[in-house]
């Protein structure tokens, strides 16, 4: 179980307290945000995670009304830099001392007087800054890309500053899909919220549904039946397999390796079919609900699943053999888009994008969700941190997940699948759900008010943490290699924009 | 090279052998109404369970009068699960696209309105499409899936193009929040006439789960006219193909 300890500090003690506490052994940065307490006062809060004890801590500081700036933690905890910018957009609060404070969610399409969580009593909000860093000089030019891209992908704007063919700097401008999901989740009765939570980023439907459920289960101290936990594991790993296969297909398509693209696209369909067999929907929507599963899965469906799995495993091995022995693939992907371990650790990069550079962090080893952390995964990190390593790590994770699936399918307990949840959650409580989605550590962080209703709902998608990784990995690479670098990270725009 | 060729030759055909197969048994499709009469307002379980207020109940003309707006429905199956009288069931059909917004509202005892009217005319054999994504990426992935070997949209003459300047039709996914409204309108205006717009997915049709918030994410209709509606959250790739073939006026789209 994740216990959450809350320390209240003053805004003056904010930076020194966090600086001291994050340096303790075994701790890492989770997320930073702002919420409004029952008296209407804004509170700046940071979530720190302890990997050794699987616990977490929230440090909370009240922001006096009338004040529109806070001391920035980014110079000491660089991982918080996007989060502070998001607080700026959504709350109208400026982080003083932030090295590059500009908008990250509400871009220039939003009128400056729209500040979703700001209230008149908070005083005059900080002015939103939508500045993009640019460079000038002989031979330097800019390339704007998006929000409407040439392919079938999500909208985002990339501004490249290049010298000739080489990327000097990349500024990422997001927020085109901002739908106000956090606000909606805090105003919807929790029993109706799960579909919305799933749609935060639908390629992570299961992970989002699971993190949502885990956070609510913490708040109501509900114990999920064993059968539900087994099926949740199966569901989460099917999602991981399907998306990693899809990415290997994308990596094939982006270098014109048509046979690889077609094969992986077809296999991704087979993996989505496993989801369909399990949950009746290719994206497994609606299966996971707080307390367990929305419906039971007949044993015959699990048997069918096991049968399709053997066939799929064989075909994936074949396709990966074709991909990784292809000289064109090796030549194009090796040595480009390098993100070194030092940057990974400093910026709190998560998931395969971190494990390709030598990081061991995998939320499945530390935090309670589905059968984890009791269930072992055997992924060995890569060390080179380049695009090729990100492809290799995807292959290894597919194989590992296939092993997990066949292991779990051997013995799915025959219990009920749903534990009764109370209508009211624990008052003034904090529920944290941490799930290793296929993109990495996904956090749902729920705070309840005095009556046990949700007062603040925060989602930290792995992409939100990792976008800066693309920016850095792209530097000093050829502009023509950028699509490959982008695909090798394969981040969600929707999950970051919310 | 040789290895790749041998591998390719060993593959069996991937493409679905028939057009518009039903969803596999046990799938959750969009809801449809059976002939079973229900308690209507006296029960109301389905209405209470619906997360997007897609269900209306009225008892005006002697019928139990349940109607479902598929343009708001996310296919979660909650209404089917709670219905005590078996009035609502899952529809396995993948031919779900319509040419009008009204045709998405289904009522008991009424057959779905006919959609034989042709949109495309000259586009019957080939159509070039630009996609705009504004949502949670589920429908995007299903749009991308129609290009894979299983659905293989190019055999119907359907191609995706990189610029709206070359496009006959625009496929829009997602609820079109504030920051995508201007890019959508500008993309639409960049297209040569006649411009066809296909709203794919429940979000694009009505805003779905996101409608009514501060992000003004209420779908495509407030911004550009829509010719074809493809309900579902997300719609199945075959349903998206159905929508595009309807826009082309292709006979393959009709019963």
Q: For residue A24, what is the domain's CATH number?
A: 3.30.460.80
Q: Which of A259, A269, A280 sits opposite B27 (nearest CB)?
A: A280
CA distance A179 to A189: 18
Q: How do residues B163-222 score in pLDDT, each as one tens digit?
A: 999 999 999 999 999 999 999 999 999 999 889 999 999 999 999 999 888 988 899 999
Q: Which of B51, B137, B177 lies at the smallest CB-CB distance from A179?
A: B177
For residue A152, give the nearest of B135, B160, B180 by CB distance.
Answer: B160
Residue environment code for B219-234, b if the CB has 16+ CB neighbours within 10 A, otherwise e: bbbebbebbbbbbbbb
Whether residue A148 lies inside any domain: the answer is no
The answer to whether B51 contacts chain A (CB < 8 Å) is yes
Q: What is the largest CA-CA distance in chain B?
A: 71
Segment B226-237, tens digit of pLDDT: 999 999 999 999
All residues of chain B having their beta carbon less than 8 Å from the beta carbon of residue A492 are: 137
Domain-terminating residue out of A106, A122, A138: A122
Report pTM.
0.93
Same domain? A203 vs A346 = yes
- My answer on whether A111 and A217 are in the same domain is no
For residues A299 and A381, membership in a common domain is answered with yes
Question: What string of DSSP letters covers A93-136?
Answer: -EEET-TT---SSS-TTS-TT--TT--GGG-SPPPP--------
Q: Confirm whether A131 is domain-assigned.
A: no
Q: Which of B12, B133, B163, B188 to mutate to test the interface with A (most CBs of A within 10 A)?
A: B133
Q: What pLDDT is stored for residue A352 in this prediction?
A: 94
Identify whether A137 is part of a domain: no
For an interface test with A, give the residue of B179, B188, B207, B216 to mutate (most A CBs within 10 A).
Answer: B179
Which chain A residue's Cα is nearest to B210?
A179
Question: What is the predicted pLDDT for the residue at A1?
Answer: 36
Residues A118 and A227 in one domain: no
Contact A153 B140 (CB under 8 A): yes
For B150, which of A114, A266, A301 is closest by C-beta distance?
A266
Residue A368 is assigned to a structural domain of this protein: yes
- Among partner residues A276, A283, A493, which is closest to B138 by beta-carbon distance? A283
**Which pLDDT score is estimated for A493?**
92
DSSP state of A372: B
Check residue A223 and give its pLDDT. Answer: 92
Indicate if A95 and A233 belong to the same structural domain. Answer: no
- A266 contacts B148? CB cut-off 8 A: yes
The pair phi, psi for residue B132, each rounded to 5°, is -120, 125
Indicate which CATH number applies to the domain containing A490.
Answer: 1.10.645.10
- Whole domain around residue A449: which residue ranges? 181-496
Q: Is B12 on the interface with A (CB under 8 A)?
A: no
Q: Which of residues 182-221 of B touch A (CB under 8 A)?
A: 182-183, 187, 209-210, 213-215, 217
Yes or no, beta carbons of A176 and B217 under 8 Å apart: no
Question: Is A59 a member of any domain?
Answer: yes
B26: nearest CA partner in chain A: A280
Contact A326 B4 (CB under 8 A): yes
Nearest to B135 among A150, A246, A494 (CB): A494
Q: Domain boundary residue among A96, A122, A148?
A: A122
Residue of A nearest to B171 (CA): A152
**Would you say A4 and A56 are in contact if contact means Cβ atoms under 8 Å apart?**
yes
Closest-CA distance of chain B to residue A466, Å: 18
Q: Token digits for A336?
A: 């480009």
For an interface test with B, the pick among A92, A199, A324 (most B C-beta atoms closer than 10 Å) comes out as: A199
Query: Shortest CB distance from A265 goes to which of B3, B74, B149?
Result: B149
Are B211 and B84 a contacting pair, CB within 8 Å?
no
Q: Predicted ipTM?
A: 0.90
The beta-carbon neighbor of A199 closest among B24, B28, B136 is B136
Tell me whether residue A466 is in a domain: yes
Asked if residue B219 lies in contact with residue B134, where contact means CB atoms within 8 angstroms, the answer is no
Chain A residue closest in CA terms to B48:
A192
Q: HEC string of A80-101?
A: HHHHHHHHHHHHCCEEECCCCC
Q: Between chains, do A276 and B27 touch, taking CB under 8 Å as contact?
A: yes
Q: In the prediction, which pLDDT does B60 show?
A: 60
Assess if residue A130 is contained within a domain. no
Two tokens, residue A68: 């529109």
Alpha-carbon span A133 to A117, nearest angstrom: 27
Say whether both A55 and A197 belong to one domain: no
Q: Which residues contact A202 (CB under 8 A, 6 or more apart)?
A: A283, A285, A494, B136, B137, B138, B141, B234
Under 8 Å between Cβ of A412 and A227:
yes
What is the 8-class DSSP label of residue B145? H
Count of A–B CB contacts within 8 Å? Answer: 162
* HEC per residue, A410-453: HCCCCCCCECCCCCCCCCCCEEEEEEEECCEEEEEEEEECCCCC
Residue B9 — pLDDT band, cuts 50, 70, 90?
confident
Residue A190 shares a structural domain with residue A304: yes
A109 and A186 together in one domain: no
DSSP state of B209: G
Query: What SS3 state is found at A281?
Result: coil
Is the Cβ of B236 closer than 8 Å to some Cβ of chain A? yes
| Tens of each residue's pLDDT in chain A, 498 residues | 346 889 999 999 999 999 999 999 999 999 999 999 988 999 999 999 999 988 899 999 999 999 999 999 999 999 999 999 999 999 999 999 999 999 999 988 888 888 999 998 888 998 888 888 888 888 899 999 989 888 888 999 999 999 999 999 999 999 999 999 999 999 988 888 999 999 999 999 999 999 999 999 999 889 999 999 999 999 999 999 999 999 999 999 999 898 999 999 999 999 998 998 888 899 999 899 999 998 888 888 888 888 888 889 999 999 999 999 988 899 999 999 999 999 999 999 999 999 999 999 999 999 989 888 888 888 888 999 999 999 999 999 999 999 999 999 988 999 989 998 988 888 889 999 999 999 999 999 999 998 888 999 999 999 999 999 999 999 999 999 999 999 999 999 999 998
B-chain residues within 8 Å CB-CB of A181? 210
CB-CB neighbors (< 8 A) of A199 in chain B: 135-136, 138, 209-210, 233
Report chain A residues whose CB lies below 8 A from the CB of B178.
109-110, 114, 178
Task: Say if residue A277 is in the same domain as residue A403.
Answer: yes
Query: What residue of A is the nearest CA neighbor of B15?
Result: A266
- Residue A395 Cα distances to A145, A356, A384, angstroms: 30, 11, 16
Cβ proximity of A446 and A219 under 8 Å: yes
Those residues whose C-beta lies under 8 Å from the C-beta of residue A121, and which sit 6 or more positions away, are A40, A65
CB-side exposure of A222: number of CA atoms within 13 Å? 28
The yes-or-no verdict on residue B116 having pLDDT over 60 is: no
Q: Tell me how far CA of residue A138 lies from CA of A141, A162, A476, A477, A480, in angstroms.
A: 9, 11, 17, 19, 21
Which whole number is the average pLDDT over B150-170? Answer: 92
A55-63 and A4-9: which strand pairing? parallel
Q: Which of A317, A305, A246 is nearest to A276 (CA)?
A: A305
Domain boundary residue among A107, A122, A137?
A: A122
Q: How many domains does chain A have?
A: 2
Q: Answer yes or no: is A224 within a domain.
A: yes
Contact A177 B174 (CB under 8 A): yes
Q: For A286, which of B8, B76, B142 is closest by C-beta distance?
A: B76
Residue A238, sorted as left (phi over 0), alpha (psi -120 to 50) or beta, turns out to be: alpha
Q: Taking residues B33-46, what's their average pLDDT?
A: 82
Q: What angle do CA A378, A311, B148 make, to 5 degrees?
A: 100
One domain, residues A81 and A197: no
pLDDT tens profile B122-136: 787 899 999 999 988
- Three-state secondary structure call for residue B84: coil
Instruction: Looking at the structure, tell me whether residues A73 and A197 fall in a common domain.
Output: no
The answer on A93 and A26 residing in a single domain is: yes
Terminus-to-terminus CA distance in chain B, angstroms?
Answer: 44
The pLDDT of residue B172 is 95
């Amino acid at each position: 179980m994740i216990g959450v300890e809350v320390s209240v500090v003053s805004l003056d003690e904010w930076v020194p307290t966090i600086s001291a506490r994050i340096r303790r052994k075994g701790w890492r940065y989770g997320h930073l945000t702002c919420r409004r307490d029952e008296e209407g006062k804004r509170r700046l809060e940071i979530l720190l995670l302890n990997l050794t004890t699987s616990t977490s801590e929230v440090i909370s500081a009240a922001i006096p009304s009338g004040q529109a700036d806070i001391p920035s933690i980014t110079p000491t905890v660089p991982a918080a830099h996007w989060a502070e910018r998001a607080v700026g957009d959504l709350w109208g609060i400026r982080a003083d001392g932030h090295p590059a404070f500009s908008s990250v969610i509400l871009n220039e399409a939003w009128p400056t007087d729209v500040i979703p969580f700001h209230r008149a009593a908070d005083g005059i909000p900080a002015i939103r800054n939508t500045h993009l860093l640019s460079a000038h000089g002989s031979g330097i030019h800019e390339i704007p890309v998006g929000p409407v891209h040439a392919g079938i992908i999500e909208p985002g704007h990339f501004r490249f500053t290049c010298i000739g063919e080489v990327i000097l700097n990349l500024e990422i401008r997001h927020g085109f899909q901002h739908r106000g999901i956090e606000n909606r989740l805090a105003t919807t009765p929790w029993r109706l919220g799960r579909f919305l939570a799933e749609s935060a980023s639908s390629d992570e439907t299961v992970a989002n549904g699971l993190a949502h459920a885990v956070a609510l289960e913490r708040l109501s101290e509900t114990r999920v039946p064993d059968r539900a936990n087994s099926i949740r594991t199966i569901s989460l790993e099917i999602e991981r397999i399907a998306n990693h296969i899809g990415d290997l297909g994308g990596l094939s398509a982006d270098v014109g390796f048509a046979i690889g693209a077609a094969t992986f696209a077809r296999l991704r369909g087979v993996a989505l079919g496993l989801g369909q067999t399990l949950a009746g929907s290719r994206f497994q929507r609606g299966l996971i609900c707080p307390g367990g599963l929305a419906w039971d899965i007949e044993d015959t469906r699990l048997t069918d699943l096991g049968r399709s799995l053997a066939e799929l495993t064989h075909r994936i091995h074949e396709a990966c053999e074709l991909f990784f022995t292809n000289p064109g693939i090796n030549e194009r992907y090796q040595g480009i888009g390098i993100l070194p371990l030092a940057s990974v650790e400093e910026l709190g990069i998560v998931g395969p994008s971190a494990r390709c550079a030598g990081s061991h962090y995998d939320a499945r080893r530390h935090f309670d969700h589905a059968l984890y952390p009791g269930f072992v995964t055997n992924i060995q990190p890569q060390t080179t941190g380049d695009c090729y390593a990100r492809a290799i790590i995807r292959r290894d994770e597919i194989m590992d997940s296939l092993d997990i699936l066949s292991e779990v399918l051997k013995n799915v307990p025959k219990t009920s699948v749903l534990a009764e949840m109370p209508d009211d959650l624990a008052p003034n409580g904090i529920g944290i759900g941490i799930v290793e989605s296929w993109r990495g550590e996904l956090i749902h962080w729920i705070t309840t008010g005095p009556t046990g209703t949700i007062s603040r709902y925060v989602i930290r998608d792995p992409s939100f943490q990792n976008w800066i990784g693309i920016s850095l990995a792209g530097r000093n690479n050829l502009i023509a290699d950028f699509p490959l670098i982008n695909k090798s990270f394969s981040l969600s725009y929707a999950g970051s924009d919310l | 090279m040789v290895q790749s060729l041998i591998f390719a030759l060993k593959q069996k055909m991937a493409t679905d052998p028939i057009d518009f197969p039903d969803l596999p048994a046990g799938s959750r499709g969009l809801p449809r109404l059976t002939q079973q009469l229900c308690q209507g307002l006296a029960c109301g379980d389905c209405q209470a369970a619906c997360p997007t207020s897609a269900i209306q109940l009225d008892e005006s003309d002697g019928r139990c009068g349940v109607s479902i707006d598929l343009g708001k429905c996310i296919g979660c199956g909650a209404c089917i699960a709670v219905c005590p009288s078996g009035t609502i069931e899952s529809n396995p059909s993948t031919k779900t696209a319509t040419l009008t917004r009204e045709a998405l509202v289904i009522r008991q005892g009424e057959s779905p309105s006919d959609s034989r009217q042709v949109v495309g005319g000259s586009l019957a054999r080939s159509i070039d499409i630009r996609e705009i994504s504004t949502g949670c990426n589920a429908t995007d992935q299903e749009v991308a899936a129609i290009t894979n070997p299983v659905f293989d949209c190019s055999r119907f003459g359907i191609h995706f193009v990189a610029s709206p300047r070359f496009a006959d039709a625009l496929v829009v996914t997602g609820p079109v929040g504030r920051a995508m409204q201007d890019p959508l309108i500008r993309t639409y205006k960049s297209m040569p006439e006649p411009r066809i717009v296909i709203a794919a997915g429940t979000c694009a049709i009505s805003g779905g789960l996101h409608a009514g918030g501060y992000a003004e994410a209420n779908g495509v209709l407030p911004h550009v006219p829509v010719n074809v509606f493809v309900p579902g959250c997300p719609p199945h790739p075959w349903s998206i193909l159905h929508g595009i073939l309807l826009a082309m006026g292709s006979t393959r789209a009709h019963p």
